Amino acid sequence: MSDLDCLMMAALGLADIAAEISAQVWSGDPAVTSKPDGSSLTEADLLIEARWREQIRRQFPTHGILGEEYGSDTGSSAFTWVLDPIDGTRQFGAGLLNFASLISLCRDGLPVLGIIDLPVPGARYVAAEGKGTRFAGRSVRSSACRDLAKSVISLANPDSFRTESVPGYDSLRSTGHVRVFDGGAPAYGALARGLVDICLNGDDLDAYDICALCPVVQEAGGRITDWRGQPLSLASRGAIVASASPELHAKVLDRLLQTV
């Protein structure tokens, strides 16, 4: 078993922890509070990340950790775990299904492992460098769509597009064959299994929202970058876009670059 296989086993263990806690809290009546920045917070966010950090420190004491709820712990190795216990807390707290737990491992700042876990209904996207993307235990691929006019486009919550990114949002909203909205991280998983062709997010993303998506999309044959086509990493923030094929991604970037 390779080192990456061992790390994936550990990541799957983290996903199991999150799935149990989040499904239990979601099935009850989640109490939602607000952080100083106005974003939503539930007990599941805090419980999951605390458990994750305990597990990582026990298994990999030299690894760094960056999490949404408890910040950054710098490690002494090349590896950093990037964690979002509940991505889509707003939806989670409202009893909706488009939320996920995001787990990523970066090596020298670049995502090499990603999990998008959907505890309700109990499904999971798993990807690692050179090993493809799997969903519900099977290998999946993006649609390889090349035609912007025929594409299925997932657009993030309109409120996430602020000032400079609004024209890009409006440009993609005016094209495509089918448009869906506010799909969150699950939409990037849907792109990896060929159901969505383009995913667009606005300015409100941080590394813990981004890193897990990268291996899932890329290992399925898709492309994911910032709006200027730059690769994503542990240092990434802000608006991102993913496409089902390199050719489609080039067309999407050309359209976005006309607006920025």
Residue ranges of the annotated binding site for Mg(2+) are 68, 84, 86-87, 209
Angstrom distances, CA of residue 190 to CA of 53, 135, 153, 198, 222: 28, 10, 11, 10, 11
Q: What residue numbers does the annotated binding site cover?
A: 68, 84, 86-87, 209
CA-CA distance, 39 to 76, in Å (whole number)? 31
Are the C-beta atoms of residues 116 and 214 closer than 8 Å to each other? no
Tokens, residue 175: 């094209």
Per the listing, tokens 């920025």 go with 260
Report how far residue 229's alpha carbon sits from residue 226's, in angstroms, rounded to the nearest whole number. 5
CB-based burial label for 128 (10 Å; 0-12, 13-18, 19+): buried
